[in-house]
Amino acid sequence: MTWEPGVTHPFRAAQSETVIGRGDACWQRAASEVLRWGVKTRSGFAVASPHDVMPGERLTITARLGPFVVREPVEVVAVIRQPDRVGFSYRALPGHPVRGEEAFVVHRHADAVLLSIRSLTAPAARGPWRPAYPLLRVAQVIARRRYRRALR
């Protein structure tokens, strides 16, 4: 899917693709990990029940920032299980620090195994997180960097 200019408003779109390794062993490991929340848990987040992702499942992801605990309620929107492409997307639920969606897809290109990360983000509609949105954008950049290293 390609985001057209203006279609994402008021959301900020971000996407990246990273080679995480090569070969069948890397593919098997990364495909299994991404479908069990590994991209999140290996990036420093805690997932309430890190079993296989399931469409429609609602759960809470937790981030710790020093003495602060940030709870992120989410709902899994879609799960992809194809021979050379696996992953999932989730959307933020009320109470999440931001509005939007995020997707993590592991796929093959020849011998390379890649991780694609896509997100649409906007300030929370209301609540205490709304004024913190500029700081949350910085935190997202740091989290995306960790995601890109998580499955290597």
pLDDT grade, residue 68 (50/70/90)?
A: confident
pLDDT in tens, 77-115: 999 999 999 999 999 999 999 999 999 999 999 999 999
User: What CATH number does the domain containing 52 carry?
Assistant: 3.30.530.20
Domain count, the chain: 1
User: Is residue 24 assigned to a domain?
Assistant: yes
User: Is residue 3 assigned to a domain?
Assistant: no
Cβ within 8 Å of residue 28, ≥6 positions away: none
C-alpha to C-alpha distance for 77 and 118, rounded to whole angstroms: 14
Give the residue with greater pLDDT, 129 vs 77.
77
**Alpha helix stretches (DSSP H) within the chain:** 23-34, 38-41, 133-150
> Does residue 66 have a pLDDT over 90?
no
C-alpha to C-alpha distance for 144 and 104, rounded to whole angstroms: 11
CB 89 within 8 A of CB 100: no
User: Is residue 6 assigned to a domain?
Assistant: no
User: Is residue 90 assigned to a domain?
Assistant: yes
Residue 20, pLDDT score: 97
Residue 8, pLDDT score: 65
pLDDT in tens, 6-27: 556 678 889 999 999 999 999 9
Owning domain of residue 62: 12-150
Give the residue with greater pLDDT, 108 vs 5.
108
C-alpha to C-alpha distance for 119 and 91, rounded to whole angstroms: 10
C-alpha to C-alpha distance for 29 and 4, rounded to whole angstroms: 33
pLDDT in tens, 28-58: 999 999 999 999 999 999 997 768 999 999 9
